[in-house]
Amino acid sequence: MNEQMNKNKNKASFRSQFGCTNCRQNKVKCDEKKPICTRCWEKDLPCRTLFRLKWESTYREQGIAFGRSKLNRRPIDQRKGPTGTPGLGSTFPEDTTWLATPTVQSWTFVNTDFSSIRRLYTDEQGCAEPHLLPAVDARTVLGELGPREPVMSSAQSPPLFDLSTNIREAMLQKLQSPLSLFPSLDDLGNQVLFDYYVNQICPRTVQSPLSMSPFASVILPYCVSAPPAVLQAIQALAACHWSQSDPRYSELSLRLKARVLNHLRHRLNTHPKDIGTEDPEILVIMMFLCLYDIVDDCNQQWIIHLQGAKDIIRLRRRRQIALKGANQDVQQDAVSSFTELFFAFQDVMGRTACGKAELFGSTYWRDEDMTINTWMGCSPALVSILFSIMDLSRSRRQVISEEGHETFNARAASLINRLKGIKQESQIDGDNQVIQRIAELKRVTSIVYLNCALYGLTPSDSITKTYIRRILKDIVELLAMEPSCQVVWPLFVAAVELDPLDFAIMLDPDTGKMTDGRRLVLELLMKMSKSSVSSVTRARVVIEQVWKSRDFCLSKSSRERSPASITDLNDWEEYVMPVSDALSLA
């Protein structure tokens, strides 16, 4: 008898107290790993833990013992409190003072969880980084995480509570997740991928830690009420980006992408009229699919999403014009405006390399808008000048008459004057040195691009060498100040227009020796690949191909020559365009 009781006691001691609903329904012991237990991860099930609030008054009304209290089987009307209130026990002293229960309002409960409590706890001790919060360990998702390490507290700051460290840490570990801000994530699972998007991807899409990324400020509020497919597209992008450093996420990212594509095809086939509506769901999904293919070694599929977005945006703009003609007020939401800007900017920056015809027109770029966009790293006015340079470069071949030459030279001179006189301004409060320097760097890079695309300058020209050295020096200084700044396009232009014989490009501060230009470019690309959402790997492949082509024609590229006729094939068209198809440089 005693042995049986001991067995039951030992069995009860190992019973899971916080197991998930799937394990409880199947009567299987749950290992309680967060955010997903091992069994749910292996079976690809949503892992949720439900908790029910138990009120003592309800148990007393039913005559059931509450917790460890003894069962009171007296009739309900006989159990009176000291003030005659039914439902209250007689174990309270006579002089007990009863307080009124406060009214519970919608703001009573704070939506928080263990990660935010831990982050606030770290901020209080002065240990928080301003951006790029550390990523969650991959083993958390894959179910291979061992015992959790305790939260390390700083000895320089006093404790937040008058409790010992062990007790405080035990309380933090026992905190349970509240109601989710994104309810669809509870059914989709893989919540850690969404956290990775917020903490790792969004900060990498802006130039400064003081800037707010539109992928967070615009997209996240929309995700609160967005369909599950939008959140799944975000998870697919996060898994793809995470797989660059941890290959175990490659298969998961492909599965998530396939589900999003199936949903998008089904939506377009069954509800074709939704294409012209104001609902931004389709454009948002296509934007994340486009980013997915860019991160995935700049897969050429991102151009297909770009072309599809162009057709959808054109249909929606026609509908808006029709509604305005009918005297109906039409205001575009912030989500649709940002997605259109995303596609238009990707189109412009990609065409600087390949030189193909534009998909999106110039209506997105106003000449008078000098405000620096923190996501683009420059002002719309500078993008407008780039757009004009590409248009003029494409029309250069059709210039035949003398009058056409004069018109071309006048337009080119106007563009170079606009580049030299443009004053880009930042509206970020506080330290905006990084933002301002990146905008200036892109302005100088635009001058190099104009000289190569319109005037036929080569890497051996002294003007090109001067600008290239300045660009590389600025990139080195910027990456030292802010490793996550997005300067892929300036580095690409400087790399493809680098003189093959320029072995001493700048002084290395560590060794005190002159650094070879190509070695410096490769080191900068390696450094940027660790903190970029762009496809640095594909850019490096194109740069190396350009270098090989220049090495084969070293005698022609090394001698300085006068600019050729504007109708001849220039240096950029000969070496860069043939290998730069579908390259994203945004």
Phi, psi values for residue 43, rounded to 5° = -95, 5
Q: Identify whether the C-beta of residue 237 lies closer than 8 Å to the C-beta of residue 288.
A: yes
- Classify residue 93: in a domain, yes or no: no
Question: Which domain does 347 fall in, by range?
Answer: 187-355
What is the tens place of the pLDDT at every residue in 502-549? 766 766 666 667 778 888 899 899 888 877 788 888 899 999 999 998
Same domain, 307 and 371: no
The CATH number assigned to the domain holding 26 equals 4.10.240.10
Q: Give residue-wise pLDDT tens across range 358-415.
A: 888 888 898 888 998 888 889 999 999 999 999 888 887 777 677 778 888 899 999 9
The answer to whether position 155 is within a domain reads no
Percent of the chain residues past pLDDT 70, beyond the cut: 71
Q: Tell me the CA distances in angstroms from 167 to 161, 322, 403, one per residue in order.
A: 10, 66, 84
In a domain, 105, yes or no: no
Helix (H) or strand (E) holding 193: helix 191-196
Q: What 3-state class would DSSP assign to 425? A: strand
Do residues 191 and 327 both lie within one domain? yes
Whether residues 464 and 572 fall in one domain: yes
pLDDT digits (tens, 9 = 90+) for 309-359: 898 888 888 887 777 766 665 677 889 999 999 999 999 998 898 888 888
Could you tell me if residue 439 is inside a domain? yes
Say if residue 208's pLDDT is above 50: yes
Query: What's the count of helices (H) and strands (E) in the chain, helices before strands?
Result: 25, 2
Instruction: List pLDDT tens digits, range 63-116.
Output: 777 766 655 444 444 444 444 444 444 566 777 777 676 666 655 455 555 555
Residues 429 and 285 in one domain: no
Please state the rounded mean pLDDT for residues 240-246.
Answer: 88
Cis link prior to 227 (omega < 30° from 0)?
Answer: no
Q: Is 371 helix (H, G, I), strand (E, B) or coil?
A: strand
Q: Which two tokens stand for residue 263?
A: 């949903």
pTM over 0.85: no
Query: What pLDDT is stored for residue 301 in this prediction?
Result: 84
HSE toward the beta carbon, residue 560, CA cutoff 13 A = 6
Percent of the chain with pLDDT over 90: 21
pLDDT of residue 172 exceeding 60: no
Residues 515 and 579 both lie in one domain:
yes
For residue 76, being part of any structural domain is answered with no
> Domains in the chain: how many in total?
4
486 and 543 fall within a common domain = yes
**Using one digit for the tens of pLDDT, what is the confidence trace for 423-456?**
888 876 555 788 888 999 999 999 999 999 888 8
- Residues 434 and 511 grouped into a single domain: no
In a domain, 145, yes or no: no
Examine residue 326 and state whether it is found in any structural domain, yes or no.
yes
Cβ atoms of 313 and 287 within 8 Å: the answer is no
Q: Tell me the pLDDT band of 236, cut-offs 50, 70 and 90.
A: very high
Q: What would the pLDDT profile of 270-302 be if each residue is shown by its tens digit?
A: 887 777 777 888 999 999 999 999 998 887 888
Instruction: Considering only residues 181 and 39, tell me which one the structure prediction assigns the higher pLDDT.
Output: 39
pLDDT at 200 over 70: yes
Which of 455, 486, 508 is at the close of a domain?
455
